[in-house]
Structure 1
Amino acid sequence: MSQPILLIIGAGPNIGASVARSFASKGYRIALASRKTPSYEIKDSLHITVDLANPSQVPSVFDTVKQKWGASPSVVVYNAAVFFPDQGEDVLSQFDFKKFETSNAINTTSVISALQQSVAGFKTLPASASKTFIFTGNMLNSTPAPGFLLFGAGKATTAYFIRHLVQQKSYQGDGIKFYYTDQRQSNGAPMGTGVEGDAAGVEYLKLAERPDQGPWDYTFVKGEGYKDFSSAN
Structure 2
Amino acid sequence: MSKIALILGCGKGIGTTIADSFHSAGYNVASVSRTPRTFTTQDRVHLIADFANPDSIEPLFDQVENRWGKAPDVVVYNAYANVLTRNDPLSASSKDFIAAFNINTTSPYSAAFIARERNNSVRYIYTGNALDNLIDPNITILGVGKSASAHWIQAAAKAEGLRPAQFYYCDQRKPDGSPCYTDLRGDAQAELYLKLAESKEQKEPNIVFRA
Kept after mapping to 2: 8 A contact 1:6/1:75: yes
Q: Deviations over 1:106-151 (max 9, x none)?
A: 111101110111101213xxxxxx6200000000001112301100
| Contact 1:140 1:155 (C-alpha < 8 Å) held by counterparts | yes
Q: CA deviation at 1:203?
A: 0.6
Match of 2:134 in 1: 143
SS at match of 1:219: strand
| Matching of residues 1-233 of structure 1 within 5 Å | 2-38=1-37, 43-44=41-42, 45-86=44-85, 88-92=86-90, 94-123=91-120, 131-172=122-163, 175-222=164-211
Count residues with an aligned counterpart: 210
Q: Distance in 1 between matches of 2:129 and 2:27?
A: 26
Q: TM-score, normalised by structure 2?
A: 0.94
Q: What is the identity, as a one-letter code, of the residue corresponding to 2:105?
A: T
Mapped to 2, the partners of 1:17 and 1:170 lie a distance apart of: 33
Partner of 1:231: none
Amino acid at match of 1:192: Y
Structure 1 43/145 Cα, relative in aligned 2: closer, same or farther at 3 Å?
Answer: farther
Q: Which residue of 2 aligns with 1:127?
A: none
Q: Aligned equivalents of 1:101 and 1:76: distance in 2?
A: 23
Match of 1:62, as an amino acid? Answer: F
1:136 is paired with a residue whose SS is: strand
SS of equivalent to 1:170: helix
Write the distance in 1 (CA, Å) between the matches of 2:110 and 2:88.
33
Q: Provide the secondary structure at the position in 1 that maps to 2:209.
A: strand
TM-score computed with the length of structure 1 as normaliser: 0.85
Report the secondary structure of 2:161's partner residue.
Answer: coil
Distance 1:191 1:69, change over 3 A: same
Offset at residue 43 of structure 1 (A): 4.2
What is the DSSP-based 3-state SS (H/G/I as helix, E as strand, rest coil) of the residue aligned with 1:47?
A: strand
Query: 1:13/1:96 Cα in 2 relative to 1: closer, same or farther (>3 Å)?
Result: same
Gaps of 5+ in 1: 124-129, 223-233
- Secondary structure at the counterpart of residue 6 of structure 2: strand
Q: 4+ residue runs of structure 1 moved beyond 4 angstroms?
A: 40-43
**Secondary structure of the residue that 2:202 maps to in structure 1?**
coil
Matched letter for residue 59 of structure 1: E
* Contact 2:47/2:60, CA 8 A, preserved across alignment: yes
Rg larger in 1 or in 2?
1
Segments of structure 2 that go 5 or more residues without pairing to the other structure are: none
Q: CA deviation at 1:33?
A: 1.3
Paired residues of 1:14 and 1:196 also in contact (CA < 8 A): no
Say which SS state the counterpart of residue 48 (structure 1) adopts. Answer: strand
